[in-house]
């Protein structure tokens, strides 16, 4: 990518897309194409076709998606598979038709089978059953990976795919109805502290383990790979280390300064027992995560506590 290359960041208002935009701007890239979902509905085939024919981007970061936590994924199952398939089908196909030099498709660690061996290696894809609660979303993301591979095989397109682990950072979603576990915990502990509550309820047993990557680290990895990686095989992006939900809750409790107790609601689902990414391939290419979890959560909390 050149500093004046025309770069389309799809999903630029979301947590991932906005982090990629910040990274590109920081690196001196000046010709970024930004559209809000109101300006360009990526689910609409005609709108996407017209946009690509007019703008002719050189590079595309496909970070747009309908996303949510366990509750949202399990409640809006049809929406999650339909909207994500439409977004990626439209963007990937138009990238091919309009001769985009390179496209990066961003997926999710939920593409892996529920009981895949840990840590999750790229070759575990499609070797077992998915976690039921997010199966529609996962199937859409798997289709995106396979679509990039198919366009590479048939048309020679330089379309690459990356699978980030659980993310957190600026522009996260703190709505308890459809947020992920870390922002939900930050919101719960902050509210409990503010309202003088004695307890905070945590969904499930607290035993599942999760890995968390700061979104600025993800953006750094995406930038690195867009410059240096041109292979068919998708890559995991993560930290290579994980933490139990209970220990995560205790860490957030400490950072927020909540003095009460944790109560675990074991009637609520745990989700996948563990989701640790094997990041050996990425590390061998020369990239490693840099932001420690406690430092990252503290910076996020300091940024958002005044508006929660």
CATH number, span 7-168+211-239+276-291:
3.40.50.720
Q: How would you class 262 by CB atoms within 10 Å of its CB: exposed for 0-12, middle for 13-18, buried for 19 or more?
A: middle
- Tell me: is residue 293 an annotated ligand-binding position: no
15 is in an annotated binding site: yes
Question: Catalytic positions, please?
Answer: 137
Residue 120 DSSP one-character state: B
pLDDT for the residue numbered 35: 96
For residues 69 and 84, which has the higher predicted lDDT (pLDDT)? 84
Residue 161 has pLDDT above 90, yes or no: yes
Residue 188 labeled ligand binder: yes
- 17 annotated as belonging to a binding site for a ligand: yes
- Distance CA(77)–CA(110), nearest Å, equals 14
Place of tokens 């509550």: 197
Q: Is 196 annotated as a binding residue?
A: no
Question: How many whole angstroms separate alpha carbon 60 and alpha carbon 100?
Answer: 7
pLDDT per residue as tens digits for the range 37-80: 999 999 999 999 999 999 999 999 999 998 877 777 888 899 99
Domain boundaries, the chain: 7-168+211-239+276-291
Residue 179: is its pLDDT beyond 90? Answer: no
| pLDDT at residue 275 in the model | 84
Transcribe the chain into DSSP letters.
Answer: --TT--EEEETTTSHHHHHHHHHHHHTT---EE---TTT--TT-HHHHHHHHHHH--SEEEE-------HHHHHHSHHHHHHHHHHHHHHHHHHHHHTT-SEEEEE--GGGS-TTPPSSB-GGGTTSSPPPGGGHHHHHHHHHHHHHHHHHHHHH---EEEEEE-EEESTT----TTT--HHHHHHHHHHHHHHHT-SEEEEES-S--EE-EEEHHHHHHHHHHHHHH---SS-EEES-S--EEHHHHHHHHHHHHT--SEEEEETTS---SSEE-B--HHHHHHT------HHHHHHHHHHHHTTT-
Judged against a pLDDT cut of 90, whether residue 302 lies above it is answered with: yes
210 marked among binding-site residues: yes
Please state the rounded mean pLDDT for residues 213-235: 98
Phi-psi region of 211 (alpha: psi -120 to 50; beta: other; left: phi over 0): beta
Q: Which of 123-137, 172-186, 293-307 has the lowest mean pLDDT?
A: 172-186
72 or 152, greater pLDDT:
152
Q: Is 277 annotated as a binding residue?
A: no
Q: Is 128 annotated to bind ligand?
A: no
Q: Is 13 annotated among the ligand-binding residues?
A: yes
pLDDT, the chain, mean: 95
Residue 202 confidence class, pLDDT cut points 50, 70, 90: very high
């Amino acid at each position: 990518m050149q500093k004046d290359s025309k770069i389309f960041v799809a999903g630029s208002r979301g947590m991932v897309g906005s982090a990629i935009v910040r990274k590109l701007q920081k690196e001196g890239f000046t010709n970024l194409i930004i559209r809000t979902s109101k300006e360009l509905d990526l689910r609409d085939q005609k709108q996407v076709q017209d946009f690509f024919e007019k703008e002719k981007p050189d590079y595309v970061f496909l970070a747009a998606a309908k996303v949510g936590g366990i509750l949202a994924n399990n409640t809006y199952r049809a929406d999650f598979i339909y909207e994500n398939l439409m977004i990626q089908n439209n963007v990937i196909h138009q990238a091919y038709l309009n001769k985009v030099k390179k496209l990066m498709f961003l997926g999710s660690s939920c593409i892996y089978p529920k009981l895949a061996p840990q840590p999750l290696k790229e070759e575990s894809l499609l070797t077992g059953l998915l976690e039921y609660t997010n199966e529609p979303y996962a199937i859409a993301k798997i289709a995106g990976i396979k679509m990039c591979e198919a366009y590479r095989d048939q048309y020679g397109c330089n379309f690459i795919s990356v699978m980030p682990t659980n993310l957190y950072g600026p522009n996260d979603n703190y709505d308890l109805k459809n947020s992920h576990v870390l922002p939900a915990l930050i919101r719960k502990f902050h509210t409990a502290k503010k309202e003088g509550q004695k307890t905070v309820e945590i969904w499930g047993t607290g035993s599942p383990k999760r890995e968390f990557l700061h979104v600025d680290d993800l953006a750094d990895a995406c930038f690195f790979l867009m410059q240096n990686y041109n292979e068919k095989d998708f890559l995991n992006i993560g930290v290579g280390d994980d933490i139990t939900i209970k220990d995560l809750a205790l860490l957030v409790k400490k950072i927020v300064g909540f003095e009460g107790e944790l109560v675990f609601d074991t009637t609520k689902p745990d989700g996948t027992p563990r989701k640790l990414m094997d990041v050996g391939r990425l590390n061998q290419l020369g990239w490693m995560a840099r932001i420690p979890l406690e430092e990252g959560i503290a910076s996020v909390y300091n940024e958002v506590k005044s508006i929660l």
